[in-house]
Amino acid sequence: MIHQQLKKEALNKPPFFISYLITDPNIFGNTPEKLEKSLIKTFSNHRIEIACFRDKTSINKEELALVFLKIARKFGINKVLINSDLELCQRYKFDGIHFNSEQFTLLDRLQDTQIYKIISCHTEKEILFAKSYKADAITYSPIFFKEKKGEPKGINNLAKIVSKYQDKDFKIIALGGIISNSHIEKIIETKAFGFASIRYFKN
């Protein structure tokens, strides 16, 4: 695969710990050309196991989703996801979907499918809902400060949540304000399944 031939970031992550890229059209581009260029650079420089196309604003969303899918497949990304849009997920055979915190009931429709299911959670109540609907993983946020995202949970709270809820069938991914290797090293210590970020992969 192309990504195996290219230099990755020097951060030494343990094998159980995954990196999860989420896109934003304001950062990765809202034209096919800009998005493709951004993705090639990002996938070339980072070890990424999961990648999600997230775009709530572009009028050419479907076209961009196909560019994302093509490049992610080319680089051999393990799980290629789309955010919130179940129709596009199924039509173009994405590996999975990342639901927002208003879409819990949609998880029930995917119980007997091979679609990988992640959902955004911000409270323990939402985590319990996610487990009951058999999500494969959640993002728990915000861990660190991020403007307009509310009070950060912090590392100690993340460690408690991981210890209490994570198991072999239900994984917890840290999200929110993760922009540096020092942030990631703190998350690794909690034994979370991994971290998700937009800005880290573009810094």
- Inform me whether the pLDDT recorded for 4 exceeds 50: no
User: For 83-110, what is each residue's pLDDT tens digit?
Assistant: 999 999 999 999 999 999 999 989 888 8
Strands 96-99 and 50-53: unpaired
Q: 16-202 architecture in CATH?
A: Alpha-Beta Barrel (3.20)
Q: Determine the residue type at 168.
A: K
Average pLDDT value for the chain: 92
Q: Domain ranges for the chain, please list them.
A: 16-202
Residue 6 has pLDDT above 50, yes or no: no
